[in-house]
Amino acid sequence: MASAILTSAKHGAYVAIGLYLAMVLLVSLSSQSQSTFEAPIQVAHPGIQFDHRAQNASVDQAELAGVAGA
């Protein structure tokens, strides 16, 4: 009885793994078939965003120093 359950579980696992691999293959092939893809929003280069934040931080520190000095 126990060996029949184990054999059935093995077959079920093989079927599940096979279905998973087939699904992954299908999704990867369908994503590669889409030749043109454009993002709805154009994002700036991360370095530019970092520089902008660094400038804001230096301005904030200068304003705080002015407030603290007054």
**Would you say residue 40 lies in a domain?**
no
- Measuring CA to CA, how many Å separate 51 from each of 20, 24, 44? 44, 40, 11
d(CA 13, CA 7): 10
**Would you say residue 41 lies in a domain?**
no
The pLDDT of residue 63 is: 62
Mean pLDDT, the chain cut into blocks of 10 residues (70 residues total):
92 97 92 68 62 54 59
**Would you say residue 50 lies in a domain?**
yes
The pLDDT of residue 13 is: 97
| CA angle, 47 then 32 then 22, to 5° | 125
The pLDDT of residue 52 is: 47
The whole-model pTM stands at 0.44
- Number of structural domains the chain divides into: 1
The pLDDT of residue 1 is: 84
